[in-house]
Amino acid sequence: MLIEKPSSLWKDYELIDSGDFSKLERFGKYIMIRPEPKALWHKSMSDSEWLKSAHTEFKPGAGFGKAGKEDSGSWNMLSKMQEQWVIEYGAVPFSLRLGLTSFKHVGVFPEQAPNWDYIYRVTKQCAAKNADGVKPKVLNLFAYTGAASLAARAAGADVTHLDSVKQVVTWARTNMELSHLDGIRWIVEDALKFVKREVRRGNTYQGIILDPPAYGHGPDGEKWKLDECLFELLTGVAKLLAPKNSFMVLNLYSNGYSAVLADTLVRSAFGFDRGLPKGTSLDYGELVLEDRFGKALPLSVFSRLARD
């Protein structure tokens, strides 16, 4: 079981403090206070220190916590800041435009940084092993604003980025342009529908990345419910993943799913019940953010599969 956190060399992000169901974070030059249901402990700094340092604080709205409106609310401005700004991710050279959304998010999930590093590294390895400089094909499902797509593209992959929401795909395209990258294939579609179609077409990918939410829907109203749809999606992914020189990253951040659950799901979907085939490696773990006071906040779990 691996426990991974973003490198302290990433200058544009820091979890400063956490506690009392909130987190105090810095994204580039701006500091914000956001709700954090997992921060069950007390803050290390005082309330007044939090308020003095923050530029803005997210205030949950009336529907906060209710299905479909889980994260809705508004931002209370505490000092002057821009509505949109750009941060850099140093370990892999890409940039992300951030902005305050009405759903408490700013356009990046910083705990994902170790996944970006992994994707960058294995994509490079796949590319190096391909004959005649053929680019590895990488599929990013539930791809949001595209950090994982940028990591794969920066490593030389031919990337297909899929999300069901047109606005976030446009946002991801902005991030590609800001990062001086090009050539990503953009798809606005339901992830499960796309995977089933690709399986029927007999297509394969050398890399598949998926970070599905608890609930969601496709552009034509297709319902996504993690508990009910994930295993079916993974069995499709198992068919789409190239049998050699390939990798898969599954990230799960909702429903309290554990890392062992991610591992068992992948083993079952890929038919590894009787052990791993030769040349296959499988790891699982948790992604955490650690604040300045050493308090580790676990935010997601992952399973990573690699084939020689």
Ligand X SMILES: C[S@@+](CC[C@H](N)C(=O)[O-])C[C@H]1O[C@@H](n2cnc3c(N)ncnc32)[C@H](O)[C@@H]1O
Residue with CB nearest ligand X? 216
Distance (Å, rounded) from C-alpha 239 to C-alpha 218? 22
Q: Specify the residue, 71 or 283, whose C-beta has the smaller distance to ligand X.
A: 71
CA-based nearest residue to 236, from 277, 211, 278, 204: 204
How far is it, in rounded angstroms, from Cα 77 to Cα 51? 11
Contact (CB, 8 A) for 108 and 86: no
Nearer to ligand X, 145 or 206 (CB): 145
Retrieve residue 173's tokens: 């395209």
In the bound state with ligand X, the residue whose beta carbon lies nearer, of 54 and 119, is 119
Asked if residues 199 and 236 have their Cβ atoms less than 8 Å apart, the reply is yes
Q: How far is the CB of 194 from ligand X (least distance, A)?
A: 8
Question: Could you give the C-alpha distances from 128 to 79, 124, 136, 184, in angstroms and in order?
Answer: 48, 6, 9, 20
Outline where DSSP puts E strands in 165-226: 185-188, 207-210, 215-217, 223-225
Do 207 and 139 form a contact (C-beta atoms < 8 A)?
yes
Comparing CB distances to ligand X, the nearer of 50 and 144 is 144
Shortest reach from residue 210's CB to ligand X, in Å: 8
Which residues contribute to the site for ligand X (CB under 6 A)? Answer: 109, 112, 142-145, 147-148, 163-165, 168, 190-191, 211, 213, 216-218, 222, 224
* Minimum gap (Å) between residue 34 Cβ and ligand X: 15
C-beta of 277: minimal distance to ligand X in Å?
28
Asked if 226 and 255 count as a contact pair (C-beta separation under 8 A), the reply is: yes
Q: How far apart are CA 89 and CA 151, in angstroms?
A: 10
**Residue number, 155 or 191, with CB nearest to ligand X:** 191
In whole angstroms, the minimum distance from the beta carbon of 143 to ligand X comes to: 6
Q: Could you tell me the smallest distance in angstroms from the CB atom of residue 67 to ligand X? A: 14
Closer to ligand X at the Cβ: 165 or 178? 165
Closer residue to ligand X in complex, CB, 18/115:
115
Length of the chain: 308
Nearest to 253 by CA among 298, 208, 289, 295: 298
